[in-house]
Amino acid sequence: MNPETKQEIYREGSKVYDAAGAAIMTFIPINRIHQHLCAFHIYAQDHTRHVEAHHFCSHRSKDFHQCVIYDSDAADARLIGIEYIVSEKARRAQAVFKALPEDEKRYWHSHKYEVESGILYMETKGIVPAAVNDTAEEPAMLELHQTYGKTIHTWAYDQSPELPLGPPQLMMSYTHDNQASEEVIRCRDERSGISSSAKKELRKGYLPPYQKDNKADQWEKSGTGIVFKPEEVQIQK
């Protein structure tokens, strides 16, 4: 087989090539992913832009999760960003949200509203009944309720669907009912076979009263968002 043919097989992919890769390569960090969460993100500087975000998460510890984010759960989904999730208080001796430097907290958003509203949910296979999904996600929602996320999107696919263009974007989450697009959520719910409103009512029965840390979601008070702008600097040698 000539080099051009080999390269073409690699580019286009094949069952044989994929099977061979799975047999000889390691995917240890990827294989630790055990949770699929679906929610929406809004751009820190433009809350009129809502994007669906599928989080595939692993746990570095009980207080620290890390997620890769895709625009869907399809085989050809776009890899659009990452999110780090930390607990509010430490259950172990490590820095979590309350221990973060004050200047760092401006990059973080809360998950309180996302969980309480039912908008954030744990994705399960289509064959799983809704009641089973609700039961399975309860421990996860109890945990996520009092956490905070730092989310960076590297692909603004709502504006550039073909390629990841431009600088990375800081993302935020909904914090009140009037921020979410009812039409966007309705379409997602219908496609996924879930009901955010039903989950909201169900979660009222098990989520404890909780006030988020006021150092998260700082845009609520400032009315400003954060953008990352490229800056050329001298290279250290």
Domain residue extents for the chain: 33-220
Overall average pLDDT of the 124-141 stretch: 89
For residue 4, the model assigns a pLDDT of: 64
* pLDDT at residue 15 tops 70: no
Closest among 22, 38, 33 to 71, alpha carbons compared: 38
Beta strands in 10-136 (DSSP E): 35-43, 46-61, 64-70, 79-87, 109-110, 121-122
Closest among 40, 29, 25, 54 to 184, alpha carbons compared: 40
As beta bridge partners, residue 87 has 147
Which of 7-11, 80-84, 100-104, 200-204 is predicted least confidently? 7-11
Which of 86-95, 135-144, 223-232 is predicted least confidently? 86-95
138: which DSSP letter? H
* pLDDT at residue 106 tops 80: yes
For residue 125, the model assigns a pLDDT of: 86
For residue 66, the model assigns a pLDDT of: 97
Give the tens place of pLDDT for each residue, 28-50: 999 999 999 999 999 999 999 99
What value does the mean pLDDT of the chain take?
Answer: 91
Overall average pLDDT of the 189-204 stretch: 95
Q: Tell me the longest C-alpha to C-alpha distance in the chain.
A: 66
Overall average pLDDT of the 100-110 stretch: 96
* pLDDT at residue 103 tops 60: yes
* pLDDT at residue 14 tops 70: no
* pLDDT at residue 137 tops 80: yes
For residue 130, the model assigns a pLDDT of: 85
Which of 3-12, 89-98, 224-233 is predicted least confidently? 3-12
For residue 180, the model assigns a pLDDT of: 87
For residue 178, the model assigns a pLDDT of: 87
Give the tens place of pLDDT for each residue, 152-179: 999 999 999 999 999 999 999 999 998 9
Overall average pLDDT of the 185-207 stretch: 95
How far, CA to CA in Å, does 116 sit from each of 166, 211, 224?
A: 34, 12, 25
For residue 119, the model assigns a pLDDT of: 97
* The model's pTM: 0.90
